[in-house]
């Protein structure tokens, strides 16, 4: 079973497009009702509270790398726990990788072999040749950063160019994020294992990306909740005709709330209102 099949199965089983981000910031772990001494025990409690409400879990490696070897162990232990107890739920490793080919081979081994992740986030700046080791993992998911959710995203992503690409049949002006969407969906997605990261904080851009990428591609969508993205607007802009195609991520708004299960259920149900 490849990543997209696993994802679609989880979406159907839990009737959910919600992804819970296990961004276990050690400085905040004691702020909610779930209080545990380690990142792994914290994550385990969140997983147990939300496993029937999600289509995936996303782990941002920065929160684990920041405390050194103990954090890497917690990251590994969390992935192992999910694979053992909830093998039907996809694991997205939010590592934002992208380097020269030889270096990426090491990243591939870490994300997919050591951690056992089902998908990874990547930036496109070095081009297809550099990320080919990830693309060649045909059963894994590759989410390419396209239009990110941060306030400064437009500094580069909105730069406009005259693009002439005979392969993609483009001969017009495009913003950089639009060209990334074209490349990822039309050139890099030959094995149907590529998706895009598009922030909920930019609904017009999300709509543009859906039009460019078509109906089949999945988008990982950060920015709902703490970053201010609106659920209704996001769903209208990004859903495909099947009422799917979006993985709506929420991290802080769920895992550091007074009751993570209640908050996850509320967001899952709110998302479903607009499907």
Catalytic residue IDs: 96
- Is 28 exposed, middle or buried, given 0-12, 13-18 or 19+ CB atoms closer than 10 A? middle
The DSSP secondary structure of 93-149, one letter per residue, reads: EEEEE---HHHHHHHHIIIIIIS--SEEEE--TT-HHHHHHHHT-TTSEEEEEEE-S
Of the candidates 193, 189, 184, 221, the residue with the CA atom closest to the CA atom of residue 205: 221
For residues 116 and 89, the answer to whether their CB atoms sit within 8 Å is no
Identify any residues that bridge with 93 across adjacent strands, giving them in sequence order: 59, 120
Q: Which is it for strands 160-165 and 170-175: parallel, antiparallel or unpaired? A: antiparallel
CA nearest to 238, candidates 248, 227, 228, 250: 248
Q: Give the three-state DSSP class for 224.
A: strand
Q: Which of 19, 21, 24, 118 is nearest to 74 (CA)?
A: 24
Strands (E), the chain: 18-21, 56-60, 91-97, 119-122, 141-147, 160-165, 170-175, 194-198, 219-221, 246-250
Greatest CA separation found in the chain? 56
Report the DSSP pairing between strands 119-122 and 246-250: unpaired
CA 252 to centroid of chain Cα atoms: 15
């Amino acid at each position: 079973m490849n990543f997209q099949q696993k994802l679609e199965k989880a979406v159907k089983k839990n009737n959910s497009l919600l992804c819970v981000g296990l961004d276990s910031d050690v400085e905040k772990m004691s702020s909610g009702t779930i209080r545990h001494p380690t990142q792994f025990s914290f994550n385990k409690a969140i997983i147990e509270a939300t496993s029937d409400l999600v289509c995936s879990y996303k782990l941002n490696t920065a929160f684990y790398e920041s405390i050194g070897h103990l954090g890497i162990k917690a990251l590994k232990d969390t992935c192992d726990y999910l694979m053992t107890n909830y093998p039907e739920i996809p694991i997205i490793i939010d590592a934002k990788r992208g380097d020269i080919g030889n270096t990426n081979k090491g990243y591939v081994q870490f994300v997919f072999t050591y951690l056992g992740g089902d998908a990874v986030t990547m930036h496109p700046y070095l081009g297809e040749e550099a990320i080919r080791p990830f693309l060649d993992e045909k059963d894994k998911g590759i989410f390419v950063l396209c239009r990110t959710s941060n306030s400064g995203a437009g500094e580069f992503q909105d730069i406009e160019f005259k693009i002439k690409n005979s392969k993609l049949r483009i001969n017009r002006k495009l913003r950089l994020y639009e060209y990334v969407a074209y490349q990822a969906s039309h050139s890099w997605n030959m094995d149907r294992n590529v998706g895009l990261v598009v922030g909920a904080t930019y609904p017009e851009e999300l709509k543009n990306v859906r039009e460019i990428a078509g109906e089949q591609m999945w988008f990982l969508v950060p920015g709902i909740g703490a970053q201010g993205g609106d659920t209704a607007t996001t769903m209208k802009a990004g859903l495909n005709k099947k009422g799917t195609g979006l993985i709506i991520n929420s991290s802080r708004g769920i895992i550091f709330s007074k009751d993570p299960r209640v908050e996850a259920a509320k967001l899952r149900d709110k998302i479903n209102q607009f499907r």
